[in-house]
């Protein structure tokens, strides 16, 4: 669809030139489309984030009132309501954690990482942290890491976050009783870190928008699984910082694969 462009024009009369036949004007046009788009995106983001936080907050307030009033002397209701309140509070802290992660990463996005990270250790750490969660859904995680040099120039903690967000999604949207494959491969002068599941899959029309903040195929399903809608936005920013690329392939009811392509560490040529 065509985008609406906006611009500002500035007209300045130039001092009369004795040689000129007519008076001259200087016309400057500045395209403001990019800036307008950026400020609209920022406003949308603040509105979305506030809305996401307001929902669990409203629920918490409602239950506090009920526990102070109608359910004051009802021990059964108390147990049940406190459990819901705990879930809502946890939801709020996940949101705040993700929002903070996002802003921290955004601040560093234009600073290239200088540390060296080993992607096979990154994969091990992420899988280790999520094995228990996978087992709860009867999902097995298989690692396919051929022996080799998997070092890149990168920030280990950020790369672990990428791996964890992708594996977490594979568990959340995977098939109960299914399998997740976490793999490392060489692709030319890049390393491909891939997470593949055999879950619900994603229809093609959603693919281009998945890394947008708060974009979800189904907000309800994401929420039920403890999602915030920020995981892939975080992944995208970290991948950008590492001069990498995120490739998503998916087929509905067959499964999805999320591949992060990262430049391999340049090998020092031996001195001759
Ligand atoms: N492995 C996957 N299989 C199916 N859908 C996925 C997968 N990973 C992500 N998605 C879709 O992309 C959306 C955005 O993902 P993400 O940013 O991680 O947010 P969420 O908190 O919902 O997991 C999800 O809500 C889901 O609709
Ligand atoms: Mg997620």
Average pLDDT of the residues of the chain: 94
Residue 57 CA to ligand 2 centre (angstroms): 21
Atom of ligand 1 nearest to the CA of 255: 3
99 and 126 housed in the same domain: no
97-101, 239-243, 262-266: which range is least confident on average?
Answer: 262-266
pLDDT surpasses 80 at 267: no
Q: How far apart are CA 24 and CA 201, in angstroms?
A: 62
Sign of CA dihedral 218, 220, 224, 228: positive
Q: Which of 97, 202, 259 to mutate to test the pocket of ligand 1 (most atoms within 8 A of CB)?
A: 202
Residue 152 CA to ligand 2 centre (angstroms): 25
188 and 146 housed in the same domain: yes
Q: How far apart are CA 90 and CA 103, in angstroms?
A: 20
Q: Report if residue 143 sits inside a domain.
A: yes
Tell me what pLDDT residue 112 has: 93
Provide the residue range defining the domain that includes 1. Answer: 1-108
Q: How far apart are CA 238 and CA 37, in angstroms?
A: 22
> For residues 16 and 98, which has the higher predicted lDDT (pLDDT)?
98
In this prediction, what percent of the chain has a pLDDT beyond 70?
Answer: 97
Q: For the residues 14-19, what does the mean pLDDT come to?
A: 84
Residue 48 CA to ligand 1 centre (angstroms): 17
Residue 51 CA to ligand 2 centre (angstroms): 18
Cα dihedral value 53, 55, 60, 66, nearest 10: 160
- How deeply is 84 buried, as exposed, middle or buried, from its count of CB atoms within 10 A (0-12, 13-18, 19+)? middle
- Which residues are near ligand 1 (CB < 6 Å)? 165, 169-170, 172-173, 197, 199-202, 210, 216-217, 222, 227-233, 256
Q: Which of 232, 248, 255 to mutate to test the pocket of ligand 1 (most atoms within 8 A of CB)?
A: 232
pLDDT surpasses 70 at 268: no
Nearest CA to ligand 1 atom 23: 227
257 and 124 housed in the same domain: yes
> Using one digit for the tens of pLDDT, what is the confidence trace for 153-198?
999 999 999 999 999 999 999 999 999 999 999 999 999 999 999 9
Residue 108 CA to ligand 2 centre (angstroms): 21
Confidence of residue 16 (pLDDT cuts 50, 70, 90): confident
In the numeric block, which tokens belong to residue 270? 């031996």
69 and 37 housed in the same domain: yes
Which of 108, 137, 169 represents a domain boundary (last residue)? 108
The structural domain count of the chain equals: 2
pLDDT surpasses 80 at 23: yes
12 and 140 housed in the same domain: no
70 and 8 housed in the same domain: yes
83 and 209 housed in the same domain: no
The environment of the single-atom ion ligand 2, i.e. residues with CB closer than 5 A, is 169, 227, 231
Tell me what pLDDT residue 161 has: 98
Alpha helices (H) along 30-176: 33-68, 75-108, 119-136, 156-172
Tell me what pLDDT residue 271 has: 65
Which of 74, 89, 108 represents a domain boundary (last residue)? 108
């Amino acid at each position: 669809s065509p985008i609406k462009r906006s611009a500002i024009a500035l007209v300045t009369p130039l001092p009369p030139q004795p040689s000129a036949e007519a008076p001259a004007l200087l016309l400057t046009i500045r395209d403001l489309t990019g800036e307008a788009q950026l400020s609209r995106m920022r406003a949308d983001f603040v509105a979305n984030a506030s809305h996401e936080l307001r929902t669990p907050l409203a629920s918490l307030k409602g239950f506090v009132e009920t526990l102070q009033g109608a359910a004051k002397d009802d021990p059964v209701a108390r147990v049940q309501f406190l459990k819901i309140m705990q879930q809502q509070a946890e939801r709020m802290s996940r949101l705040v954690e993700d929002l903070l992660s996002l802003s921290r990463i955004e601040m560093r996005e234009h600073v290239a990482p200088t540390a060296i990270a080993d992607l096979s250790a990154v994969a091990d750490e992420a899988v280790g942290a999520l094995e228990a969660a996978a087992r709860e859904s009867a999902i097995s995680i298989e690692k396919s890491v051929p022996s080799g040099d998997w070092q890149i120039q990168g920030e280990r903690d950020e790369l672990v976050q990428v791996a964890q967000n992708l594996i977490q999604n594979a568990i959340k949207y995977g098939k109960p009783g299914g399998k997740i494959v976490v793999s490392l491969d060489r692709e030319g002068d890049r390393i491909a870190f891939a997470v593949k599941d055999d879950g619900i899959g994603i229809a093609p029309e959603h693919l281009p928008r998945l890394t947008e903040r708060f974009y979800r195929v189904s907000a309800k399903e994401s929420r039920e699984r403890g999602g915030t809608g920020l995981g892939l936005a975080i992944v995208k920013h970290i991948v950008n910082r590492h001069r990498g690329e995120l490739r998503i392939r998916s087929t509905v009811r067959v499964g999805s694969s999320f591949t992060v392509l990262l430049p391999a560490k340049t090998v020092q040529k031996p001195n001759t």
